[in-house]
């Protein structure tokens, strides 16, 4: 499959907005996005990832990848208690976070005239796991950093979302 030259950067902003909103409302912490970049390999930028397929006016996928330390901080903030290991409860939370980001982004995209539906999120975990976006379009990745919060250690907690939307 030949790679397309570009994806419309306007399509990425709803995913950035949704990510910031979900972290603020669910984990009670501010996140800040760094500039989007093209991702050219399949290795996830984290230890636990939620992946969700998108179909409708366009097709594509969203993934949200968290290093173990970062997802433990986020879920600790969500639950109001310190979480110490990636278990089924953490994986369920990653799936739900992915689903919420997808839902809010799709709502904003609908306001821009693009209707998308999503599948059920899949959660993948393990060091150096891979994410395969089935696409001929480039994959845009955005890294987010977290502000200090009750359970944050202040040691640069970050996570990454990847978005690919194939314009029909």
| pLDDT tens profile 43-85 | 888 999 999 999 999 889 999 999 999 999 899 999 999 999 9
pLDDT < 70 positions in the chain? 1-8, 148-156, 168
Would residue 2 count as lying in a domain?
Answer: no
Would residue 125 count as lying in a domain?
Answer: yes
Please provide the DSSP assignment of the chain as one string.
-PPPS---GGGTHHHHHHHHHHHHHHS---EEEPPPEEE-S-B-SSSEEEEEEEEESSEEEEEEEE-HHHHHHHHHHHHTS---S--HHHHHHHHHHHHHHHHHHHHHHHHTT--EEE---EEEESTT-B-----SSPEEEEEEEE---TT--SS--EEEEEEEEE--
Retrieve residue 52's tokens: 């969700």
CATH of residue 144's domain is 3.40.1550.10
Q: How far is CA 76 from the centre of its chain?
A: 18
Alpha-carbon gap, residue 166 to 162, rounded angstroms: 13
Q: What residue numbers bound the domain in which 155 lies?
A: 9-166
Would residue 89 count as lying in a domain?
Answer: yes
Res 138: pLDDT: 86
- Core vs surface per residue 126-161: b (16+ CB within 10 A) or e: eeeeebebebebbbbbbbbebeebebbeeeebbbbb
Would residue 156 count as lying in a domain?
Answer: yes
Would residue 70 count as lying in a domain?
Answer: yes
Res 1: pLDDT: 40
Would residue 3 count as lying in a domain?
Answer: no
Res 2: pLDDT: 43
Would residue 90 count as lying in a domain?
Answer: yes
- Structural domains of the chain, count: 1
Would residue 1 count as lying in a domain?
Answer: no
Whole-prediction pTM = 0.90
């Amino acid at each position: 499959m030949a790679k397309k030259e570009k994806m419309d950067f306007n399509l990425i902003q709803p995913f950035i907005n949704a990510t910031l909103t979900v972290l603020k409302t669910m984990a009670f912490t501010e996140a800040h996005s760094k500039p989007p970049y093209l991702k050219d390999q399949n290795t996830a930028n984290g230890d636990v990832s939620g992946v969700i397929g998108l179909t409708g006016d366009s097709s594509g996928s969203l993934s949200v990848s968290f290093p173990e330390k970062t997802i433990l901080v986020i879920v600790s903030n969500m639950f109001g208690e310190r979480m110490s290991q990636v278990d089924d409860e953490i994986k369920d939370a990653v799936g739900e976070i992915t689903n919420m980001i997808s839902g809010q982004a799709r709502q904003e995209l609908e306001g821009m005239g693009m209707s998308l539906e999503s599948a059920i999120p899949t959660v993948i975990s393990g060091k150096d796991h891979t994410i395969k976006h089935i696409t001929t379009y480039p994959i845009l990745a955005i890294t987010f950093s977290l502000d200090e919060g009750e359970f944050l250690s202040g040691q640069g907690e970050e996570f990454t979302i990847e978005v690919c939307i194939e314009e029909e």
